[in-house]
Amino acid sequence: MRSFSQRFAGALRLDVATYEEVEADPGALPQAMVVVVISAVASGIGLLYYGSVGDLVRSAVGALLLWFVWAGLTWFIGTRILPAPETSSSWGELLRTLGFSSAPGVFNVLTLVPIFGSLVAFLVDIWMLVAMVVAVRQALDYRSTWRAVAVCMTGFVVYVMAKWIFVPELG
């Protein structure tokens, strides 16, 4: 079993083996939660110019709540609406893999940099979306990346709406 830092780095590299390891390890749930919090705090720090420390705390709490919602929604879509014959997954597996898929969010701290902040935020969002696809493909045991894309895109609309409502500073 790899260390937390190795898993974090593997998640950043979109390493399939890392996502498989996290999926199979129920003990990785606290680590996944830490990744979500690190990502949210980095985003909050990036927004400190526009907000307060209270907003940073609210961002972290909101990110945790949205992580749970996203995992549940993805589980439902992936196992009930768009399952593949080989699909076998639990909400916990999606919590773990999707938690680690938020690792690229650590770079949102760079949104503090004038002129480049918006570009950084855009690139990090794309990176995180690709990581989510990898996480979903592995957690739902899909052979097709396109099926994982369909699950993510179906759930992403609902996720973004919830994000704008509950944590507008992360949107």
Burial of 122 (0-12, 13-18, 19+ CB in 10 A): exposed
Give the highest mean pLDDT range of 87-96, 109-118, 153-162: 87-96
Count how many domains the chain has.
1
Determine the pLDDT at residue 51: 67
First-to-final CA distance of the chain: 35
- The residue range of the domain holding 153 is 4-170
Q: Return the structure tokens found at 97.
A: 């893999």
The answer to pTM > 0.85 is: yes
Could you tell me if 87 and 141 are in contact, meaning their C-beta atoms sit under 8 angstroms apart?
yes
pLDDT of 53 above 80: no
CA distance 56 to 51: 8
CA distance 140 to 159: 19
pLDDT of 52 above 80: no
Phi (first) and psi of residue 114, to 5 degrees: -60, 150
Determine the pLDDT at residue 118: 84
